[in-house]
């Protein structure tokens, strides 16, 4: 019951509604004024007729003023657990609603409890969907949510969606039913296209933010940029469309930038050339965040022709602190950004196929850098250069240019150790490689004790320490033991149950754990489920965990947001046992293409699944599950 109140408890009726209480108090005050004699005595009233505000009412009035300044979701959730009165007032003062799983609660229940919301954030599919591990059309539709929001929050201003299926009709509904709508952010979403964007651009006259981040946008002949109003100054502050894989109307974009003096963030797609980028930068020197587009010449323009002074355009952007893009990069143009490097706090080169020597010419100027994303094409030598310069680095992500398991990875333990020695303030790292050593990981745990996120992805399966041949147990053990602030961990490589024993013993703050091709028995998962009290999200693929391991978490699943297991050793009876033991947990088994074929045969219908996805829900099983999803009872 305690958890249920945290998620979506209803108001109780211990006190009257706020709008009625004011009338009651005013009426009592009026009676008092009418019955005061010259001697100051109150006449004509029974002692019970005048009622002072009871303590809960006074407390709620005070709380309402105080909680308006409480912005942290966790703090607000904690406040709502104090008592029913606090729960009610917290709901009345909450202006931002966050739904971590779109199926954990119904739109109707959410909007009934929180009645004054102006900003909504909703997450849909689990993260492993990003790696094509979930069949298309699984669900996470925005349609039921946008319909509920329309009737409950006509004053809605902001919508943030992640891994949701959004249609053009959904976007049209947003544009037509929320007259004060200002911000739309779609991260890793799909189902919509440029026609829907055109409606948003045309009808949302107060639009400040339109961010499309790693989303799949369907192409059409619609000129969505040209649909922004052509007259007057716009409110636009952020426009991100680097994921849109279709050409845009550049002339309309240039006019839009000119009419947007408040524009601070602009990220362009690969169809914008460096010459066009120059024209935009000259028009918008106030930019703080810039995604450069292709960073190469447009087709038909010969290299060496009279070109603009790109370096002066960058130099004029005095406020630029975040730089990304560089798709289809021509390395010769990298010198243009030297002028802004000294002021950069974030640099994203994760689409730029450059080598170590080319990186060195840039990174040597980036002394203030705090966030750095890059391809492993820079090799260990490039990471060593970054470590020598970027002493204030807080986040590093190194992505593979070739993600095949049998590829020769250009980064290794050498680069990781260099980063750990040079960037002692590091808080978050994502590192793809083919080979690693325990010594390098242990060194990172000692040199970077403030790590909160450690994601080491050794792409080859079951790879040991390539120097000693030992499992990677001691390296990951050192991370959870020495990094006391660790909340997110991804493990890979050759790992035995000993590594999971370390995680269960020391990972008391770990909230998200990702496991791939690791472990050697059910005992490993048992260590984690019994030893990590704050675990919220657990993702496991291709690991030897079975029914016994699954049962070991019965005490904890109600406290988790979700558990994902694919290609493990689970059986339908074992999954069904969990569903029966925990009725408020939704247990989905998902069949892949092979499983669908086997399910057509009656004798195999019960064992034809590849994925288990479990999540807590106040609503029970969803009603939009596709045919390849079976919800167990």
Q: Give tens-digit pLDDT for 263-276.
A: 999 999 999 999 99
Distance CA 614, CA 629 (A): 12
Of 40-49, 334-343, 397-406, 424-433, least confident by mean pLDDT is 40-49
Distance CA 196, CA 205 (A): 15
Name the band, by pLDDT with cuts 50, 70 and 90, for residue 58.
Answer: low
Give the mean model confidence (pLDDT) for residues 207-216.
97
Instruction: With both helix axes pointing from N to C terminus, report the angle between 250-258 and 274-283 in degrees, rounded to the nearest 10.
Output: 20
Res 74: pLDDT: 87
Res 52: pLDDT: 52
Say how many C-beta atoms besides its own lie within 10 A of residue 29's C-beta: 11
Q: What is the pLDDT of residues 283-319, one digit of tens each?
A: 999 999 999 999 988 655 555 567 899 999 999 999 9
Say how many C-beta atoms besides its own lie within 10 A of residue 300's C-beta: 5
Distance CA 352, CA 330 (A): 9
Distance CA 385, CA 373 (A): 14
Beta bridge pairs of residue 119: 96, 158
The 3 state secondary structure assigned to 93-114 is HCCEEEECCCCCCCHHHHHHHC
Q: Return the H-helix or E-strand segment holding 58.
A: helix 55-67
Res 23: pLDDT: 33
Distance CA 16, CA 53 (A): 12
Distance CA 211, CA 450 (A): 31
Work out the percent of the chain whose per-residue pLDDT is above 70.
87
Residue 246 CB partners (closer than 8 Å, separation 6+): 194, 217, 219, 271
Res 27: pLDDT: 36
Give the mean model confidence (pLDDT) for residues 124-131.
92
Res 14: pLDDT: 31
Res 1: pLDDT: 37
Q: What is the pLDDT of residues 27-43, one digit of tens each?
A: 333 333 333 333 333 33
Are 345 and 367 a contacting pair, CB within 8 Å?
no
Res 304: pLDDT: 56
Question: Within 13 Å of residue 452, how many CA atoms lie on the same side as its CB?
Answer: 5
Residue 88 CB partners (closer than 8 Å, separation 6+): 11, 12, 60
442 has a pLDDT exceeding 80 = yes
Res 607: pLDDT: 59
Global pTM value: 0.87
Taking all residues of the chain, what is their mean pLDDT, rounded to a whole number? 88
Which SS3 state, helix, strand or coil, does residue 551 take? helix
Residue 508 CB partners (closer than 8 Å, separation 6+): 531, 532, 533, 534
Work out the percent of the chain whose per-residue pLDDT is above 90.
76
Res 33: pLDDT: 33
More confident residue, 530 or 34: 530
325 has a pLDDT exceeding 60 = yes
Q: What is the pLDDT of residues 4-27, one digit of tens each?
A: 333 333 333 333 333 323 333 333
Residue 126 has which token pair?
Answer: 């689990």
Name the band, by pLDDT with cuts 50, 70 and 90, for residue 137.
Answer: very high
Helix locations, 497-551, DSSP H: 497-506, 522-531, 547-551
Give the mean model confidence (pLDDT) for residues 442-453.
98
Residue 96 CB partners (closer than 8 Å, separation 6+): 73, 117, 118, 119, 120, 121, 158
Res 385: pLDDT: 98
395 has a pLDDT exceeding 50 = yes
Are 378 and 402 a contacting pair, CB within 8 Å?
no
Name the band, by pLDDT with cuts 50, 70 and 90, for residue 44.
Answer: very low
191 has a pLDDT exceeding 90 = yes
Q: What is the pLDDT of residues 564-608, one digit of tens each?
A: 999 999 999 999 999 999 999 999 999 875 444 444 544 544 555
Give the mean model confidence (pLDDT) for residues 152-162.
97
The closest alpha carbon to 267, from 207, 316, 340, 214, belongs to 214
Give the mean model confidence (pLDDT) for residues 495-505.
97
Are 511 and 488 a contacting pair, CB within 8 Å?
yes
Res 55: pLDDT: 58
């Amino acid at each position: 019951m305690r958890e249920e109140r945290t998620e979506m408890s209803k108001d109780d009726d211990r006190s009257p509604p706020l709008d009625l209480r004011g009338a009651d108090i005013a009426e009592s005050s009026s009676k008092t004024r009418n019955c005061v004699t010259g001697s100051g005595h109150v006449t004509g009233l029974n002692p019970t007729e005048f009622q002072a505000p009871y303590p809960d009412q006074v407390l709620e009035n005070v709380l309402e003023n105080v909680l308006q300044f409480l912005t942290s979701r966790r703090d607000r959730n904690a406040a709502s657990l104090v008592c029913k009165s606090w729960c009610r007032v917290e709901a009345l003062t909450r202006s931002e609603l966050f739904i971590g799983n779109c199926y954990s609660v119904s739109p109707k229940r959410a909007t009934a409890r929180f009645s004054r919301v102006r900003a909504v954030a909703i997450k849909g599919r689990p993260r492993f969907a990003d790696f094509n591990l979930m069949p298309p059309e699984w669900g996470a539709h925005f349609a039921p949510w946008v319909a509920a929001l329309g009737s409950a929050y006509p004053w809605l201003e902001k919508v943030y969606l992640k891994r949701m299926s959004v249609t053009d009709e959904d976007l049209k509904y947003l544009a037509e039913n929320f007259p004060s709508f200002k911000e739309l952010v779609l991260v890793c979403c799909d189902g919509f296209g440029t026609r829907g964007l055109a409606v948003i651009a045309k009808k949302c006259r107060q639009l400040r933010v339109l961010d499309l981040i790693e989303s799949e946008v369907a192409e059409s002949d619609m000129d969505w940029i040209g649909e922004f109003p052509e007259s007057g100054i716009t409110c636009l502050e952020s426009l991100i469309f680097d994921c849109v894989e279709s050409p845009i109307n550049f002339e309309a974009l240039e006019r839009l930038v000119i009419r947007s003096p408040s524009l601070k963030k602009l990220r362009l797609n690969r169809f914008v050339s460096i010459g066009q980028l120059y024209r935009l930068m000259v028009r918008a020197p106030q930019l703080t965040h810039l995604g450069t587009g292709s960073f190469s010449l447009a087709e038909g323009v010969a290299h060496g022709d009279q070109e603009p002074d790109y370096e002066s355009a960058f130099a004029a952007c005095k406020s630029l602190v975040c730089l990304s893009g560089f798709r289809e990069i021509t390395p010769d143009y990298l010198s243009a950004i030297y002028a802004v490097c000294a002021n950069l706090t974030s640099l994203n080169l994760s689409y730029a196929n450059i080598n170590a020597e080319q990186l060195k010419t840039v990174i040597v100027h980036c002394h203030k850098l705090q966030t750095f994303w890059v391809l492993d094409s820079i090799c260990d030598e490039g990471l060593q250069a970054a470590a020598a310069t970027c002493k204030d680095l807080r986040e590093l992500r190194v992505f593979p240019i070739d993600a095949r398991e049998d590829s020769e990875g250009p980064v290794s333990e050498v680069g990781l150790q260099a980063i750990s020695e040079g960037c002692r303030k590091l808080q978050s790292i994502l590192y793809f490689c083919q080979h690693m050593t325990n010594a390098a990981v242990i060194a990172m745990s000692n040199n970077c004790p403030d790590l909160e996120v450690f994601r080491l992805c050794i792409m080859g399966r079951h790879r040991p320490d390539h120097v000693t041949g030992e499992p990677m147990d001691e390296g990951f053990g050192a991370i959870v033991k020495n990094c006391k602030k660790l909340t997110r961990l991804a493990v890979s490589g050759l790992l035995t149950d000993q590594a999971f024993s370390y995680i269960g013993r020391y990972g008391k703050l770990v909230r998200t754990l990702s496991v791939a091709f690791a472990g050697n028995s059910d005992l490993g998962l048992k260590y984690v489920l019994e030893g990590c009290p704050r675990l919220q999200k657990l993702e496991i693929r291709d690991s030897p965990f079975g029914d016994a391991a699954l049962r070991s978490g019965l005490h904890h699943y109600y406290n988790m947001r979700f558990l994902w297991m694919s290609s493990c050793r689970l059986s339908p009876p074992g999954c069904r046992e969990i569903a029966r033991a925990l009725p408020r947990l939704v247990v989905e088994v998902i069949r892949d293409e092979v499983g669908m074929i086997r399910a057509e045969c009656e004798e195999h219908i019960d064992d034809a699944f590849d994925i288990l996805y479990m999540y807590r829900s106040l609503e029970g099983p969803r009603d939009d599950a596709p045919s390849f999803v079976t919800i167990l009872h």
